[in-house]
Amino acid sequence: MAIEVFAPAKINLTLHVTGQRADGYHLLDSLVAFADLGDGLQLTAGPEMRIDLSGPFAAGVPQDARNLIWQAAQGVGWSGAIELNKQLPHGAGIGGGSSDAAAVLNALTAEGLTVPTDLPLSLGADLPVCMVARAARMQGIGELLTPIELPELPALLVNPGCHVPTGAVFSGLQSRDNAPMPDEIPPFKSVSDCYFWLADQRNDLEEPARVAAPEIDRVLSDLGASKGALLARMSGSGATCFALYPTLKAAHMAAYEIGAEHPDWWIRAVTLR
C-alpha cells in the first residue's frame, strides 16, 4: 500500500550567522516557519529504489543516489518507488529537498523503521527542523531546536527564477561572527506582535545573495512596496523572498499585482505556522 506524505516549504523568518567552526560548518540562529504549500510524495515498498517525478519543477531533480530522498530512504534500510510531485522550486532557499527527505524519514518512522540519530543532520542542516515541520528556533549547525508558538502568518512567497549557489552566498559574507537573536523569543499574540519583533532581526545571507543575484533586489523592492506589506525579507540563502501581511486576502491581492507585472516569477500566497 502506498504511503502519501506532504513536504512543506520551510521559510527562514530570521537567519543570523553567529560563527564558524574549525571544520567549516557555520553556526546559525534562525526562526523557522513552515507554509501550507509544498511537495507531495508517495512511497511504495519494493525490491529496488526508484524515483519518479512530476510537477512544474521536476526538471533537473536527480533520480538516483544524489537525491536526498534516496539517501534518506537507504539510511533507514527501505527500498521501493518514490513518486515526487515537485511543486517547490529547487535551490530556492525554502528547504525543498531537505523537506522532501524529512517527510520520507517521518513517514518511514511511522511505519516502524528506526532513523539513526546522526542521519538527519548528515543529510543537511535543514533536515532536523524539517522533520519537526513546525515553527522552531534552529541553532548550532541545525541540531539545536526549540519549538516556538507563532500565530498564523499570512505571507507571499516570490522567487524570480534564478538559482543562487549556497556556497557563493556564504563565501560572500563580510562577517561570520554576528549577533544572535535575543536569548528569549517572546510570545506572539498577533501578526503585528510578530512583525514588530521580526523587524529588529536579520537574514545575514541577504546582502551577499543580492550581490550574487541582483534580481533579489527587485523582488524585495516589489514586495516591500506592495499594499499592506508589513515586512519583506529573503528566506535562507535565496532567491525566494517573502512578505508578511495582516490578512491572507492582502497577500493574495499582492500576489495578483506582482504577478501581473512579473508573469514569469513564481508567486504564492501562503499561511506560515
Query: What CATH number does the domain containing 74 carry?
Result: 3.30.230.10
User: 143 and 208 in one domain?
Assistant: no
**Final residue before a domain boundary, out of 119, 147, 175:** 147
Do 79 and 168 share a domain, yes or no? no
Task: Check whether 170 has a pLDDT greater than 90.
Answer: yes
Question: Is residue 168 located within the same domain as residue 233?
Answer: yes
How many domains is the chain built from?
2
Mean pLDDT on 65-90: 98
**pLDDT given at position 1:** 85
In this prediction, residue 80 carries a pLDDT of 98
Strand partners, 30: 138
Identify the pLDDT of residue 178.
98
- 126 assigned to active site: yes
What would the grid cell of residue 157 be?
512567497
**Same structural domain for residues 141 and 261?**
no
First to last CA, the chain: 31
Same domain, 184 and 246: yes
- DSSP track, 79-109: -EEEEEE--SPSSSSS-HHHHHHHHHHHHHH
Spatial separation of the C-alpha atoms in residues 189 and 254, rounded to whole Å: 24
> What value does the mean pLDDT take over residues 108-129?
97
Query: Per-residue pLDDT tens for 198-208?
Result: 999 999 999 99
Domain of 223, CATH number, reads 3.30.70.890
Residue 180: what pLDDT?
98
Instruction: Determine the structural domain holding residue 226 and report its residue range.
Output: 153-272
Using pLDDT thresholds of 50, 70 and 90, give the confidence band for residue 19: very high
| DSSP designation for 185 | P
Return the CA Rg of the chain. Answer: 18
Q: Are residues 192 and 166 in the same domain?
A: yes
Q: 230: which residues sit within 8 A by CB, 6+ positions away?
A: 191, 192, 195, 243, 244, 245, 246
**At which of 147, 166, 186 does a domain end?**
147
Of 95, 117, 147, at which residue does a domain stop?
A: 147
User: Could you tell me if 107 and 220 lie in one domain?
Assistant: no
Q: Which of 29, 100, 126, 204 is catalytic?
A: 126
Q: What are phi and psi of 54, to 5 degrees?
A: -150, 175
- Of all helices (H) and strands (E), which one includes residue 129? helix 127-132
Residue 122 has pLDDT above 90, yes or no: yes
Query: How far is C-alpha 65 from the geometric centre of its chain's CA atoms?
Result: 22
Residue matched to cell numbers 532581526:
201
C-alpha cell at 159: 522567487
Q: What is the pLDDT of residues 215-237, one digit of tens each?
A: 999 999 999 999 999 999 999 99
Contacts of 200 (CB under 8 A, 6+ apart): none
Q: What is the pLDDT of residue 161?
A: 96
Co-location of 143 and 180 in the same domain: no
Measure Cα distances from 150 to 29, 136, 219, 222 in Å.
17, 9, 25, 26
Q: CA–CA separation, 147 vs 110, rounded Å?
A: 21
Nearest to 4 by CA among 93, 123, 156, 106: 106
Residue range 60-82: mean pLDDT, rounded:
98
The partner residues of 144 in beta bridges, in order of sequence, read 139
Average model confidence (pLDDT) across the chain = 97
pLDDT of residue 250: 98
Q: Are both 17 and 112 inside the same structural domain?
A: yes
What pLDDT, on the 0 to 100 scale, is given for residue 163?
A: 86
Does 8 share its domain with 139? yes
Concerning whether 227 is annotated as a catalytic residue, the answer is no
Same domain flag for 135 and 242: no
Candidate list 10, 29, 86, 204, residue with the active-site label: 10
Residue environment code for 77-94, b if the CB has 16+ CB neighbours within 10 A, otherwise e: ebeeebbbbbbbbbbbbb
Average pLDDT rounded to a whole number, residues 256-268: 98
Find out whether 226 and 260 touch, Cβ atoms under 8 Å: no
110 shares its domain with 202: no
